[in-house]
Each structure stands twice: as C-alpha cells, then as structure tokens.
Structure 1
Amino acid sequence: MSGSSFSPSRVSKGSSLLTGSDFPDPDVIRVDDTYYLVSTTMHFSPGCAILKSYDLIHWEWCGHLYDTLDETDARALKNGRNCYGKGMWAPSLRWHDGTFYVCFAVVDKGVTHVYRTSDIENGPWTLSVLPGLYHDPSLFFDDDGKAYIIYGNSTIRITELNESLTGPQPGGLNRVLVKTGETKQLGYEGSHFYKINGTYCLFTIHSLPDRWRRVESCFASDSLTGEFTGGIVFNDDQGYHGQGVAQGGVVDTPDGRWYAVFFQDRGAVGRTPVLIPLAWENGLPVIGNDGKAPLEAVNLTARPGYAYAPLAESDAFDAPVLKAMWEWNHVPDDTLWHVGGGFLSLTAGRADRDLTQARNTLTVRCTYPVTEATVRLDGSKLALGGRAGLCALQYQWSAAALRRTEAGFMLSLLKKPANDQPGEIIAAEVPASETVTLKAVFDFADMKDTVSFFYMENGEWRPLGALQKVSFDLRHFAGVRAGLFHYNVEAAGGEALFSGFEYRITAP
C-alpha cells in the first residue's frame, strides 16, 4: 500500500480468520465507511446475527435481526420435538434506496422471510413472507429498481419479485442461470448475486467433483437474459486440513478496492469467516494472492484507534438484559429466567430427559484456537432430580453438572449415550457442596476438537472425568458452544443461580 490515502495511521492489520468463531454463510455490505455482516443462526434465539466493522478485519456486535421466529413445538423444544439444524439459513443483506433488506429461508416452515428497516443498528424491522423455500437466496436490485431473488441447490434460478417482495412478479423473469450437472458431491448453492462494472455476477459454492472440498465459482453475463459463463475462481484451504474457503459476500472499500468474506469449515468450532483480497479482470474476480488466502489481513480503517467490543467476553450478569453474545438454544420460556444483580437465574419448568431437550440453555460461541469458560453455580435451590452446570452443546454433548440426589449433591460428568439414544450417562462424579465453580477448556487447535471439564477444590482446579471429543455434526449444523443449563429429569421445579462468568481465548 502506498500514497497519502494509505498513511500508516489508517492501515489496519489482523488475522484473516476474522472472528475465529461460528459465523457461517456471511453476507457483507458497505454503507459509507461502515461494513455490516449477517450470518446464519439456525435454531438459536435471538437470531440472524448482525455485526459491524470499519476495516473488515475487526468486528463487533450490532445485535440480532429478531428475538424469536414464530413459536412452534419444534422451535420451543415442546412435546419431544426440536428444530436443530433448521430455523433460518443463509441470509442475504442488501442496502437499496436508503433501506436495508435481509432475506433468508426458514427451513422448518418452508417459507422465505424478507425484512426491511431504515436503521440496521436499531431497527425496527418489518417482515414480509415470501411463500416457498428459496434455498440460499440472494436478493438483488437492478439499476431500474426491479427486484430479483436468486436461489437454488444444484440448479440456480433467478425470479423477478413484485414491488412488495411478497411473491413473483406476474409475467416477470423466471429462468435457470446455471446447473451443476451430474455429481456425487455438493452442487451449486450459496448464491450471491451482484452487478459490478456493468456485468452481472453470480457467485456460488460447490464441491470438487472427485472429493469433498468447498470451492467458489463465479458466472458472469452482460444481461439477465444472456448466458452465464464461468467456473471455479477460488480453491484454497489456507493449508488447513483440506478445508476449502468459500461461500460468502464480496464488498468494495471506499477507495475502490475489493474483498471477499468467505467461510471455512474449522471442525468443531464451526464455520469461520475469512477475509481475502479480490480484483477484477475481464468481468470475473481474481481472488487471493496468487490464488491463496493470506493468513494476515490488511486494509484501511475509517476510524483509526477505534476500540471494538469483543464478540465474546466475560459477564458479571449485572445488567437486566443479556449481552448480544448470548443466544438461547431454541426459543426460550421467558417466565423461567431472569438476569441482573450479579446473577443469571434458570428455573426448571418441567421434566426433561436430557440436555438437548431442556429449555433455556444459554449459549455462547467458542473461539479458535482455545476457549476457556468458567462460571460459579449456586445450586442450593435445585430440586431433587435437578442438574445444572456448564456444557459443550452439540449433538454429541457433554457437561459438568451439579446434581441434587437423595444422598446429597454430586458433581457429575454427563454425556450423550452412544448409539444415538436419548437420555444421559454419568461418565464420572464426585461428592460436592451446593455451590461449585466450573471450567470448560475447548481445544480446537489443529482440529484437536476436545473439551475438558474442571471444578475448583481448595483453590485448585481438579479434572472432572476424562477428556471429551467434540465435533461439528450436521444434525445440529452449528459449531460447539459453551452453555449454561438447568433441567430436571423428575419434575418441574428448582432454581440454579449462575454468577461470575469468565471467557478467555488462549493459545494451545
């Protein structure tokens, strides 16, 4: 970088692994000097994460687009149902004529939601429902103001929408843009559509045909009715276990440079955004440095010296509202929790067989390479059959749990049974007092993907059971999270009080 516009005070550097945590399917835009990013949240509430940045490298929370989707038995973990891996997928973010738009598929309902607001940071958002499931949609506004949605899996289509964005425009454009053809691997999906320098550009991801590896393709045309031609434009894994970097948005800087924000599968920690420089040649993108995603990201910042709030941090639970980093596992029951005065209170509202069916588990994303989560738990008000503590939430879950039994309090390592059975097994346990301090250490470095649980005894950390494996299982379709939970396997009742939550990101 050279010239007066690239003065040292304006240069921002950092890891190209932007968040180090699970913010999949990113879409990104710039409005003036501010970048905004939206990401999939699946079954978690509140949903559709919104981040902002002034340099594309460092990000902080704006918040979420919605508190909850409409409550159903599956979304609220009622009557034995759940919504794991469903909910909202792959949001598209656009800014057009002073209005922000977000569009995404609601997988469990088979519909597509379109939201709009004039203020992305504060809302309010207005919802319209587009009947039908438009898979991995990209919302596009052409120069003449007409709106289109580009979507699909293997076969990618474009459909013109009516002015209210509530359905197809009668007699409007509706055609296939590209087809994958025969393949045993993942076909085209994850569409992102733009008009750049007069050329229409369709970005999609897919797998290499001979093996699983995520790659990015781009197809271009000089008109919406013309032939879209192109192919693979990026195929790199940053030297990380063959995990390809692809799927996401592209964005320009105020001084006319371009970047891609794609994501990479990083094992159990989830799908993490990566920043890659981009240039244009003959209407097609040239991504990376000699086709590689650099490990260091460099850009200009619009706000030199700006202090970004962390995406995940410690929490004393002093405020009467939760920090933006927290998301509930499914739709919570708001009558059974409260926060403030130094405590998070969770009450068991019914009997539940195991952690994954328990309501009101409060989660936070883990961060690469190593995350340590610590919390103090007062279980004096637990009822018989109650268990509360600190968990690693994914399909193959595990947890450090304080249990109240007829014989007194026990501190147990709970985990999901083998053979996909519901319920829980006790892998280890020790006698305990009614108040305990717990720690979970998540190690994702070099795909280790483990969690170790500890408890404090006489000022020293003691291991609780053996090292546990964690994984990214498509049945949950989310990175493993640290979670605070309370449920009862016998009956409703009891209260767990959490305090002094500490969150640290460390080296392996």
Structure 2
Amino acid sequence: MKNNPIIWADYPDPDIIRVEDTYYMISTTMHFMPGCVILRSFDLIHWEVATHVYDILDGTPEQRLEGEKHIYGKGMWAASLRYHEGKFYVCFVANDTHKTYLYTATDINGPWRKQYIEGFYHDSSLLFDDDGRIYIIYGNNEIYLTELKKDFSGPKPGGLHRLIVKEKQEFYLGYEGAHLYKINGKYYAFFIHITKASGGRRTQACFVADSLEGEFVGGDVFNDDMGYHNSGVAQGGIVNTPNGKWYAVLFQDHGAVGRIPVIVPLHFENDFPVFQKRAPHFIEITSTRPGYKYKSLVGDDDFIYELDESGQVHLKDFWQWNHTPDPRLWSVTEKPGTYRIKSGKLSTNVVYAVNTLTQRAMGPASEAIVTLDGKGLRNGDYAGLCFLISTYALIALTKENDQYYLVMLARDAYDKNMFGKNEIDTKAGKEYARIPVEGSRITLKAYGNFVDNADECEFYYLNGSQWSKLGVTYKMVYKLDMFVGCRFGLFLFSTKEIGGTAEFSRFRYNILE
C-alpha cells in the first residue's frame, strides 16, 4: 500500500494517458526550464521523469529574466496530453506570450516538433474523434468547444464552435481545467470549480453528452478534502488500467510545498462517472511491470558531466532552472565536480538571479546540503542555498569590503493568505542574521517542514563537525504571484558589480519522515 497523495511535491494540473502498459502524466511547470515535464509510471503510484517537452520555450526577454522582467505566475499552464495513431500530442497556452502551443513526437523522448495554434485556449483539452475530426475544449466559467484544422494551425472554417457548459452557481472560480474524453460513444467533459456553496473548496464536475452537437448534462461528481484544511481534491485527467479499472489523477493544495497529485478510484454507472466518495489515504494498484526500479524525482549530484556528441550538457532530469538559463554564465565541465555560476547582471534579490538551479521540495520534510566555494565572489555578491518561492528564504555567503559574511535573508510575506497581497517585488530581502566567516569555502544546509502546512524552513552551516543554525525559523507562504511550490535552489546574484563567480559541489538531497 502506498500513501495518497501519491507524490508530496508540486505537480499541479495533471493530465494522464496510458499507452499500452505505460502511464504518462504531464504537469504545469510555468517559468521553469526545461519545461513541461512528463512523468512515467507502470502502476499510477510510483513515478519517474520520462522527459521534458522543451528546453526553452520562446526565449523572450521575460523568459530570460532580463533586468526586472520575468514570467512568474505565467509561462505554460495545464497541458493536454494525448496519444493518437502513433504520435504524442502536448497542447498548452503560455500566459506570458498569450499563445497556444502544440508539440508532437513519435517517441516520448522526442524530438518534439513545435507549432502554434491560432487563438488562445485557456486550460484546453484535445479530442481526436472517431471520424477523424479534431476538437479543442477550453475556457473559464464559459466552456467552449472548437473544431480545429487537420494541421492544427487554427480553427476549422465552418467547423463546429459552440458554448457547451456555463457556470450557473455563484462562484469564486468558474469551471475550468477542462479534460474531454470519448468513452463508449459518449462525450465526457471534466472541470474544476469553486462555488460559494462549497465554502471555498475546490470540487470536481463532469458533464456528459451523446454527441458534440448535443446538450452536456451533469454537475459535481467529487467533493473531498481528505480531512485537510478544506483543500479540495480536483482538476486532472482520468485513465483506465489494462484490466479496465478507472482512476482520476487530481491535485490538492498543500501550502508552500505546492499542489500535489492525488489518485481517486471511479467507475461508470449508467454511462456516468461515479467517484469513490472519499479519496483513499492508502492505495494499491497492480503494476504492469512488477519489480521495475524507478528513478528518483529528486536526488544528489556530484556535478560530473560530459559533453554529448553535439557539444551539449544535459543535467540530471530532476534539475530545472528558474527561467531560461544563460549558457554563457554556467558550466559543469570547466571544473569537473562543480556547478559554476558567473553573474552577468545586477539584481536586488534572488528572485531575479539568472541560472538558479532548482529541485522541488518534498514532503513531509526534506533537506538539501551543498558545499559552496565563494573565492570568486565580488563585493556585493550573494551566493548560496535558497527555498525559492515568492516568500523566499535563503542562506548566502556574501562579501563586503573584501570580508566574507554568512547571512540569512527572507522576503516579507505581507500576509499569510495565498490570495492576499501578491506581487513580485525588487526589494532586497530582509536580513535576519549575519556572521563573519574566515575563508571562502563552506557547507550549507536548508531544511523544510511541510507537515500539516507547517511550511517552516531553517538554514544551517557546517561549523567544524557540527551544524549551526543561522537566523530564524521562517514561515513560507504559497502565493499566486509565483503560483508554484517552493524549491531548493543554488544561486548567485550581484548587487554592485557583475563578473563574480560561485562554485557549488557535492549536492545532497534527503527526504525526511
């Protein structure tokens, strides 16, 4: 038996398919690169990274974190993942470029071909109908169905285009997060919404029609928070196993660690989906490949890499950069065993630092340890280990008047409400502690506790053979300005002059019970 939620980390807006014996799940990655992660499983419970659909999306100034430009809270959202006649299809919008993207590949590992679909289709879902026609469903509050051209370049002239579902209750969030299926000749459209009647809890809805021209009829099909802070489990895809059992993979808000996937059994009665009344806290599903050994979704790195045939370096698949990286300013091959960053712009805080290398934080608690050599820092530089979230906190080695200091900084959370004051600011972080240190080499640790939305982080440095805490225990708050769960990050930013360097080695990741 496995704990449910199935992954205690930020994998929101899941869509899921099965191709023969293999399940694939896609998730929102917003501003992180490489982006659009697809996970793989053989039992719907244990997962590993199969691929990232793209390394760089469009490389806009905002996506590259130029100056004070950024795409926090934007980027790619809520992708639709489909497999049809030997080809994978990934469709999503980016809320910074306001474009709709379609990526296709015959192999999950790519290469992925990129194109644009004319129009903007919020939280879309693709449908390949039996007659060869292609549709996209999308929207918020008002849900539309549009037929697409065969080449996916845009809406089909004269094709079907209609409003199929409209929110009729008083709501905080109207119907969105569409997932459309054809099962046994009927059409099923699933949505998330938050009505005032639900007391602010997310719920899952489904509407069913006999044809795409017919009336879609339905309502809420699942309303459960697993006893967790009125945090409703909703939005995601459904999939069947080879032996015909059906499951939904949805998500649940879990504070600063993010929106985490939950699996819920369901079945069909009279051609309508019936979800298990409560999401199980433990679940077991027969594997299609018993004994398969999964790669970890997070992990250690000694930064020993070699160039591939094209002269490129591919980091381990649990790493993602905050925004598009600048390849001129980082290396893992110049000094084997070292992740080296060079600063190329001035930044007031870690949020604007280019080439911050991240991994998702994991519950119930997790810690990251890394050794930093700051001999290349310049006055006004900060390099270290952070929890990257809008209410960030960090431990950093800095240099002032050629003296090294170790500092703990954090951002003022303003309030403790995810819907409260939300803005990415350019203010310097608040300094909670500062101590002088001798030498430039030091080992750092960041610890996060996510049990019951504690969302507390602490920072330590290795003092001889003992860990010494620096600064305060800091409360992180998940907010909509970044709209992602917190991550461990290795960073460097300069406040006075560019050109400084930082070297990180021997990264260790521990998931703690």
Q: Above 0.5 in TM-score?
A: yes
Once the two structures are superposed, residues 130-164 of structure 1 have per-residue CA deviations (whole angstroms, 9 ceiling, x without a partner) of 12220000011001111000000000010000000
Corresponding residue for 1:177? 164
Q: Distance in 2 between matches of 1:131 and 1:197?
A: 31
Q: Which one of the candidate residues 298, 303, 306 is aligned to 1:317?
A: 303
Corresponding residue for 1:333? 326
Pick closer, same or farther for the CA change 1:360–1:150 going to 2, 3 Å: same
The aligned runs of 1:49-128 (5 Å cut-off) are: 49-120=37-108, 122-128=109-115
The aligned runs of 1:332-411 (5 Å cut-off) are: 332-340=325-333, 341-411=336-406
Contact 1:33 1:254 in 2 (8 A): yes
Once the two structures are superposed, residues 176-210 of structure 1 have per-residue CA deviations (whole angstroms, 9 ceiling, x without a partner) of 11000252410000000001111100000001323
The aligned runs of 1:437-456 (5 Å cut-off) are: 437-456=443-462
Q: Which one of the candidate residues 463, 483, 486 is aligned to 1:480?
A: 486
Give the TM-score normalised by structure 1: 0.95
Corresponding residue for 1:308? 294
Q: Does 1:42 align with 2:30?
A: yes
Q: Distance in 1 between matches of 2:371 and 2:67?
A: 31
- Secondary structure of the corresponding residue to residue 61 of structure 2: coil
Q: Which one of the candidate residues 436, 449, 474 is aligned to 1:431?
A: 436
Q: Which one of the candidate residues 269, 284, 290 is aligned to 1:281?
A: 269
Contact 1:16 1:276 in 2 (8 A): no
Q: Distance in 2 between matches of 1:464 and 1:174?
A: 59
Letter in 2 for 1:343: T
Corresponding residue for 1:503? 509
Corresponding residue for 1:3? none
Once the two structures are superposed, residues 379-430 of structure 1 have per-residue CA deviations (whole angstroms, 9 ceiling, x without a partner) of 1111111110000111111110000111510000012256656222321011
Letter in 2 for 1:48: C
Contact 2:128 2:135 in 1 (8 A): yes
Q: Distance in 2 between matches of 1:493 and 1:417?
A: 29
- Percent of residue pairs bearing the same amino acid type: 48
Contact 1:471 1:480 in 2 (8 A): no
Corresponding residue for 2:464? 458
Runs of 4+ in structure 1 over 6 Å off: none
Gaps of 5+ in 2: 307-313, 415-424
Corresponding residue for 2:311? none
Letter in 2 for 1:423: A
Corresponding residue for 1:205? 192
- Secondary structure of the corresponding residue to residue 446 of structure 1: helix
Total equivalences in the alignment? 492
- Secondary structure of the corresponding residue to residue 18 of structure 1: coil
- Secondary structure of the corresponding residue to residue 71 of structure 2: coil
Give the C-alpha shift of residue 287 in structure 1. 1.1
Contact 1:376 1:435 in 2 (8 A): yes
- Secondary structure of the corresponding residue to residue 172 of structure 2: coil
Q: Distance in 2 between matches of 1:284 and 1:470?
A: 41
- Secondary structure of the corresponding residue to residue 356 of structure 1: helix
202-211 vs 155-164, which moves further = 202-211
Corresponding residue for 2:143? 156
Q: Distance in 2 between matches of 1:418 and 1:449?
A: 13
Q: Distance in 2 between matches of 1:377 and 1:155?
A: 51
Q: Distance in 2 between matches of 1:134 and 1:98?
A: 25
Contact 2:171 2:194 in 1 (8 A): no
Q: Distance in 1 between matches of 2:358 and 2:261?
A: 20
Once the two structures are superposed, residues 69-124 of structure 1 have per-residue CA deviations (whole angstroms, 9 ceiling, x without a partner) of 1111211111321110101000000001111100001111111001111001x201
Give the TM-score normalised by structure 2: 0.94
Pick closer, same or farther for the CA change 1:139–1:480 going to 2, 3 Å: same
Letter in 1 for 2:323: H
Once the two structures are superposed, residues 427-470 of structure 1 have per-residue CA deviations (whole angstroms, 9 ceiling, x without a partner) of 10111231111111100001101100011101101111010111
Letter in 2 for 1:206: H
